[in-house]
Structure 1
Amino acid sequence: MITNNPNANLIEAMKEKLPLKGQLADMLMDTLYIGKEAVYRRLRGEVPFTLQESALVSRKLGISLDQIVGISFKSNAMFNINIVDYDDPFESYYEILDKYVTLVNSMQDDPNSAMGTSSNIIPQTLYMKHELLAKFRLFKWMYQNKNIDCKSFEELEMPAKLVNIQKDYVGMTRHIHSIDYIWDSMIFQHLINDIQYFSSIHLISDETKEEIRKELFLLADELEELAISGKTKEGNQVRIYVSHINFEATYSYVETNNLRLSLIRVYSINSLTTMDNEIFHSLKEWIQSLKKFSTLISESGEMQRIQFFKQQREIIDTL
């Protein structure tokens, strides 16, 4: 409940984020570098949180300062712009991926955790463990930015730590207990078109293109197996839908008891992210509404599933 007491609002918001006994106190000691008794004096309201302490806690838990002061600006929201730096693309891309991996891996096991994605390209959480496919996304972005020296796909050398963090990015979904994927029916076609273009201007060799083709067939097999079982190898539920309408962009959300994160893909490999509640509810509702235009192919819709993956393999085979 929002009151006219910012300190009480902050305490209430923190307890909503970390309801388990002792969890909130431990977080405050680690974040504010104060002792247990000082923490409990603040939680009892005997000592108010300072502005600096409120800001640190708000950033840690994703609590809106608007919520704390009891004001709602419905037309405003704060976004993080996760844009790869032109001057040091490898390191900045690594830092962006590492931030997501650290955030999700640090979450307490939450049986209610959920993720939803509506994609007009193959989601990063599904293809990034395949080195050539992951490399191609970065190559395309680097080549498009003329300020970066990137002569050909084969000459692009990926740092080992970047290759590893991309695999960790795929692995972090083991913490998500329920996943909804809604795919554009042309999800492979867009990627094939890009690869064919770079091949036509001799920036990808025929030998490398064949290796990418093999990875795409392997990915198609993995996705079909995932659709048949409806579960990840960790036993988490996955629902896969194929949309009958096209998407203009890729939207995603991650939700746990302590986190509500919205992501909008921009500039190929970059994203805008926010923990704003209004944006989260709007984006989640939008993604879920796409199901009315889609066919569920995981665990059910066997005929549609077979037809979909047959079509995707025929598209891959044109490469």
Structure 2
Amino acid sequence: MGNSEIQVQFFHHVRNLLPPYKSLVDEVSDLLEISNDSAYRRIRGEKFIDLEEIKKISQHFNISLDQVFNLQTNAIVFHGKLNSFTKDSFDDWFEDVLKQIQMFHIQKKKHMYYLVKDLPPFYHLYFPELASFKFFFWMKSILHNESLKNEKFSFNNLLYYKLKDTSTKMINLFNQIPTTEIWNEEGINVTIRQIELYNDMGLIPSQKELKILFEQLLDVVNHLEKMAEFGLKFPMGKEPTAESAPYTMYVNDFVIGDNTIIAELDNVQITYLNHSVMYFIGSMDPKFNEAMFYNLHNLIKKSTMVSTVGEKERIRFFNKLRKKIEIKLAAIEE
């Protein structure tokens, strides 16, 4: 393959990463600070790009040259963010999650697969109190936000309202993305334990607030069951419509998920691996994603589908989830 062919292939790969409403020529000209004509000539392979330009483009689009040029190496390239341990760490993380959901949403072909270890964060957003508790826990115990070092969780200062616009956008977009979730009954335990732990530490001021958190978690479980019954995603307290995105739920009694997210989009597959509790790193490496999808489909084959069909298994599974929460509610002193 000649140099110009490799260059054309490189830009073809870049084009596949762009959402439909963006122009490759405009993106390249802005990034390299050149005219549209110069950008066209580079894209067509008429003018060679230098190493510095390749570096700029690759870094901007998180491109692995291994995957573009099919280099035979064992390297797998991931992109993602780490905790900056600043007062803005959580806001930055939350905005980044929204950007990923927005990127999924604009694709014509899109499907999200979620291997559930912990209740997906989107479902907490239906309740300001439950969402605020999760935000508070992440900021205090995971991100070690200094401003919360000596603070208790309180319904009088809910963090949700500072992020309400972003939260609303996120759950609305998420509900429009076709999704397959693979659950195990352990999937509800993490949130239960976090609530329980903070109560034991005296960080939840009253039994009334503790009860509300568990009641809201129970409402989320009931809503998930309703979505599984219809096989569609829709907002809490609403009914599905003709525009509702497909929702498929599987239960696997033997494998506990690890919060891996696998996305199948227009021209690319992406695997997001969970790290540091709430962060993700993503890879578009074709060989890696081929292996991940192979494992995913094997796991699905060994799981029980409980959405739209399997009513008996669905009722039994959700009764197990409800029982875990109802035991905690029964233990609360009025």
Q: TM-score, normalised by structure 2?
A: 0.81
Matched, 1:10 2:10: yes
Q: 1:32 to 1:268 in 2, by over 3 A?
A: same
3-state DSSP of counterpart to 2:114: strand
% of aligned pairs identical? Answer: 22
Residue identity matched to 1:133: L
Q: Distance in 2 between matches of 1:173 and 1:157?
A: 23
Residue identity matched to 2:183: W
Q: Which moved more, 1:186-195 or 1:166-175?
A: 166-175
Q: Distance in 2 between matches of 1:160 and 1:198?
A: 21
The 8 Å contact of residues 260 and 275 in structure 1, kept in 2 or not, is answered as: yes
3-state DSSP of counterpart to 2:83: coil
Matches within 5 A, 1:132-151: 132-144=129-141, 148=146, 149-151=149-151
Partner in structure 1 of residue 92 of structure 2: 95
The 8 Å contact of residues 116 and 253 in structure 1, kept in 2 or not, is answered as: yes
Residue identity matched to 2:66: D
3-state DSSP of counterpart to 1:120: coil
Matched, 1:302 2:311: yes
Q: 1:65 to 1:217 in 2, by over 3 A?
A: same
Partner in structure 2 of residue 72 of structure 1: 72
Residue identity matched to 1:144: S
Matched, 1:220 2:229: no
Deviation at 1:198, TM superposition (A): 2.0
Over aligned residues, Cα RMSD in angstroms? 2.9
Deviation at 1:224, TM superposition (A): 1.3
Partner in structure 1 of residue 163 of structure 2: 162
The 8 Å contact of residues 251 and 305 in structure 2, kept in 1 or not, is answered as: yes
Partner in structure 1 of residue 208 of structure 2: 207
Deviation at 1:168, TM superposition (A): 2.8
Q: Distance in 1 between matches of 2:296 and 2:128?
A: 29
Q: 1:20 to 1:314 in 2, by over 3 A?
A: closer
Partner in structure 1 of residue 25 of structure 2: 25
Partner in structure 1 of residue 258 of structure 2: 249
Matched, 1:266 2:265: no
Partner in structure 2 of residue 232 of structure 1: 233
Deviation at 1:147, TM superposition (A): 7.2
Partner in structure 2 of residue 86 of structure 1: 85
Deviation at 1:30, TM superposition (A): 4.3
The 8 Å contact of residues 108 and 266 in structure 2, kept in 1 or not, is answered as: no
Q: Distance in 2 between matches of 1:96 and 1:109?
A: 21
Partner in structure 2 of residue 125 of structure 1: 122
The 8 Å contact of residues 125 and 173 in structure 1, kept in 2 or not, is answered as: yes
3-state DSSP of counterpart to 1:318: helix
Q: Distance in 1 between matches of 2:201 and 2:10?
A: 57
Q: Distance in 1 between matches of 2:232 and 2:201?
A: 41
Residue identity matched to 2:222: D
Q: Distance in 2 between matches of 1:48 and 1:206?
A: 68
The 8 Å contact of residues 247 and 307 in structure 2, kept in 1 or not, is answered as: yes
Q: Which moved more, 1:78-87 or 1:122-131?
A: 78-87
Residue identity matched to 1:134: A
Consecutive unaligned residues of structure 1, counting only runs of 5 or more, are: none
Q: Which moved more, 1:238-247 or 1:166-175?
A: 166-175
Residue identity matched to 1:279: F
Runs of 4+ aligned structure 1 residues displaced above 6 Å come to 19-22
The 8 Å contact of residues 116 and 284 in structure 1, kept in 2 or not, is answered as: no
Q: 1:279 to 1:35 in 2, by over 3 A?
A: same
The 8 Å contact of residues 174 and 236 in structure 1, kept in 2 or not, is answered as: yes
Q: Distance in 1 between matches of 2:280 and 2:18?
A: 27
Deviation at 1:69, TM superposition (A): 4.8
Q: Distance in 2 between matches of 1:22 and 1:293?
A: 41
Q: 1:114 to 1:79 in 2, by over 3 A?
A: same
Deviation at 1:63, TM superposition (A): 2.9
3-state DSSP of counterpart to 2:163: helix
Deviation at 1:245, TM superposition (A): 1.3
Deviation at 1:4, TM superposition (A): 5.5
Matched, 1:290 2:299: yes
Q: Which moved more, 1:223-232 or 1:185-194?
A: 185-194
Q: 1:60 to 1:281 in 2, by over 3 A?
A: farther
Partner in structure 1 of residue 52 of structure 2: 52
Q: 1:78 to 1:150 in 2, by over 3 A?
A: farther
Deviation at 1:227, TM superposition (A): 0.5
Consecutive unaligned residues of structure 2, counting only runs of 5 or more, are: 235-242, 329-334
What is the aligned residue count? 313
